[in-house]
Amino acid sequence: MTGPPWTMGNGGRIAALLGLLAAGVLTGAAGWLVVDLWFPGGLVLALLALFGLFLGGRIALGTGIGVGAATGGWFLAYVILGVPRPEGDFLLGSSGIGMYAYLLGGVVLAVICATMSFPADRPLSAAGNAK
């Protein structure tokens, strides 16, 4: 049985959501590293990677739930890397405004991708197609 995950039943949909969650964790961790490494360019690169992940999740599942799974993974990585360790330091430190811009930009991109609609999402009318 081949086709998009949303036509394969619950098993394919769950596998796609878990894959998007894992991709969100990896993208979030990589984005954290890149933002700290090259500030202005790294922030843009990290936000472009998030936009690609969120848009890919939206297209792959056809609904906003794909964006939600990717966003959950991204935010999970953000929280895990930002929690202080028992020694008192952070696993990865933030260098100021870049991490806040990464968080705010990621949330804005997630909302944009979750609420966008494609022509395939809208119902077709017979009157609109007639010439």
User: pLDDT per residue over 3-16, tens digit each?
Assistant: 555 555 778 888 99
The angle at the Cα of 52, spanning 21 to 100, to the nearest 5 degrees, equals 80
Q: Is residue 58 part of a domain?
A: yes
Q: Is residue 88 part of a domain?
A: yes
Q: Is residue 55 part of a domain?
A: yes
Q: What is the pTM of this model?
A: 0.79
Residues 6+ apart with CB under 8 A from 92: 32, 33, 36, 81, 82
Segment 104-121, tens digit of pLDDT: 999 999 999 999 876 665
Q: Is residue 79 part of a domain?
A: yes
State both tokens at 102. Answer: 């990464």
Q: Is residue 81 part of a domain?
A: yes
Tell me which of 130 and 23 has the higher pLDDT.
23
Owning domain of residue 57:
20-116
Q: Is residue 5 part of a domain?
A: no
Nearest of 114, 23, 126, 121 to residue 73 by alpha carbon: 23
The number of folded domains in the chain is 1
Q: Is residue 123 part of a domain?
A: no
